[in-house]
Amino acid sequence: MIQQLIASRLFWWGGSLVFASFYSLQAIKKAFSSQPIIQDDARQYLFWMLRFFDGELFPNDLIADYFQSVTPDGYTTLFRLLSGWGVSPLLLHKLLPLILALILTSYGFFLTLKIFPLPFAGFTAMVLLNQSLWFQDDLASATPRAFVYPLFLAFLYYFLSRNYIGILSAIGLLGTFYPQYIILSAFLLFVSILLVWRKKITDQNTYIFLIITGLTCVLVLLPYALETSEFQPVITREQALVLPEFYPDGRSSFFFPNPIYFWLFAERSGLIPALMPPLIWLGLLLPILCRFPTKFPLVKQLKETGILLRVLLASLICWLLAHLLLFRLHLPSRYTDHSGRIMMAIAGGITITIFLSAGINYFRQKQGKWLQKLWRSGGSLLLVGILFFYPILSERFPMTNYRPVSAIELYNFLEKQPKNSLIASLTAEANYIPMFAKRSVLVAEEYAIPYHLGYYSQLRDRALALITAQYAIEKDVLIEFIQDYKVDFFLLEDSSFTLKYLERDWLQQYPEATEKAVMNLKQGKTPILSKYQESCTVFKHQQFTVISSDCILSLSSTPN
């Protein structure tokens, strides 16, 4: 019997890993489908890591320095160590999703068995979790938020196992990869202590265990609480309310006029995560099934269901606290999105298992073999649909948000320029120049993250100055801009001096500059920068034009 149980666990654990690998490999296939390619959010983290291979890159670069400072230490250390073995950040970020998926699937599978000791439930829960993860791009990003799933699942598993070494390791790693979830873990322990006290449990070991674990969370968080940065302070709610960046179509849209959408469903502020596949929502039925143990006998095997509720309660507390302290604990939805996805997948897997078992028992009692066969066949078809066909039929699956780029000749040209070159551009291509050309940009939409005023106030000033200079009709404005910011090149597109170009959402965040630029174009006034295109162009490919600032300064100093 024991051998059968072990074999069963190994079989369903192996099945979980097979599905995790299958989904991840579909994403990896996309990652290597074309060159060069990079995941959307990974652009913020990977480009500055090129300094691991060449310390002279991005000298005195505000953007590189900022993102290096906000990247968690554990994440930085991992990439730094592997870069010492010759593994590039770009390659590692493409391979990490598979590794993380296998780790989180293993911890999630055995965590589910702690709650409900049927391996099939662990298998179903992990298939649902992996599907849910690949219906959005957290894993594909291989950014710090991708690590929250294996590390938080590890923490929960060791927490239920009362494995001190495992708990300390998980908390330490969680704190160096995704510190926000140390806060959630601390509140989980606080809720657990309250429940133990309310139930009047007198076991001192339980209190000692919870208190020691809680103190560990506090110690891990302490360095972050005491840390100071040149890019502080964090923006406040009042300051964010006056910036277009935080409204619909803004770079970090947060405030929405519809209160129901804002509080419940918005990506950054909402309480309820957007979970797929639809069957993951069956997890909401688990509390109802528990009320009918005679009809659903397997509910009697539930052991640690309280952890599901405690995690959700701790997530709700953190969500409320993040709203109250906006934006000091970063974005409120981060505290319900990741944890909610994990808990709903586990609850969903358990619910499906209980339903299937209850159906088999029902038809067995009816003594109708054909009904049993029909139910088993129907259940099998349902599972095949859940585990295989539904994701494949969805165009969104797997969601990776990989961004292939084609301006290779442009990157090659810029990479040949001096390492301290600074490129000024309002094009979307500026988002890729640091990674693929290894050169600094003055400003770019992808890096216009407005949460730290010490950084963003400078970046916003740069954006305003660049828009003003690019569309200025006065020569002195352009010259002053070049000299103030020490710009070496301007990167333009064929459509750069059109009204439609200025209508892009990102540029509309800077009305102080764009309104005057629009007015000049509507009045038929020609921006002075466009007059230098013919004489100062040093590179032209497809729709892109690179203009030399030295040439502009030289011609400007020559008497007419």
Domain boundaries along the sequence of the chain:
2-393, 405-557
Helix boundaries (H) for 248-305 = 259-260, 286-289
489 touches 549 (CB < 8 A):
yes
Output the six-digit token pair for 285.
């039925």
With H, G, I as helix, E, B as strand and everything else as coil, classify residue 548.
strand
Is the Cα torsion angle 13, 17, 20, 22 positive or negative in sign? negative
Output the six-digit token pair for 331.
């974005």
Q: Which of 337-346, 362-371, 429-438 has the lowest mean pLDDT?
A: 362-371
Q: How far apart are CA 233 and CA 454, in angstroms?
A: 6
Q: How far apart are CA 59 and CA 481, in angstroms?
A: 20
- Name the nearest CA neighbour of 137 among 516, 504, 399: 399
The answer on pLDDT for 225 being more than 70 is: no
From residue 482, alpha-carbon distances to 379, 387, 520, 552 in Å are 68, 57, 21, 9
With H, G, I as helix, E, B as strand and everything else as coil, classify residue 37.
strand
Q: Quick one: how many helices (H) and strands (E) in the chain? A: 27, 7
119 touches 131 (CB < 8 A):
no
Residues belonging to the chain? 560
Output the six-digit token pair for 522.
């509507």
Backbone angles phi and psi of 547, in degrees to 5: -115, 135
Higher pLDDT, 230 or 455: 455
> In angstroms, how far is CA 175 from the centroid of its own chain?
16
Residue indicated by tokens 């230098």 = 532
CATH classification code of 405-557: 3.40.50
Q: How far apart are CA 193 and CA 214, in angstroms?
A: 10
Establish how many alpha carbons lie within 13 A of residue 322's alpha carbon, considering only the half-sphere containing its beta carbon: 24
Q: Which amino acid, residue 100?
A: L
Q: Which region holds residue 257: left if phi is over 0, alpha if psi is between -120 and 50, else beta?
A: alpha
- The C-alpha R_g of the chain, in whole angstroms, comes to 27
Query: What pLDDT digit, counting tens, does each position of 183-202 carry?
Result: 898 888 888 777 776 665 66
- Name the nearest CA neighbour of 157 among 117, 191, 107: 107
Dihedral (Cα; 542, 543, 549, 551), 10-degree rounding: 60
Average pLDDT over residues 47-75: 94
Query: What pLDDT digit, counting tens, does each position of 325-344 carry?
Result: 999 889 999 999 999 999 99
Position 398 confidence tier, pLDDT thresholds 50, 70, 90: confident
Per-residue model confidence (pLDDT) at position 54: 93
Per-residue model confidence (pLDDT) at position 5: 45
Per-residue model confidence (pLDDT) at position 325: 93
Query: What pLDDT digit, counting tens, does each position of 511-536 carry?
Result: 999 999 999 999 988 999 999 988 99
Residues 6+ away with beta carbon under 8 Å from 408: 36, 436
Q: How far apart are CA 331 and CA 96, in angstroms?
A: 25
The answer on pLDDT for 12 being more than 60 is: yes
pTM: predicted TM-score of the whole model, two decimal places: 0.92
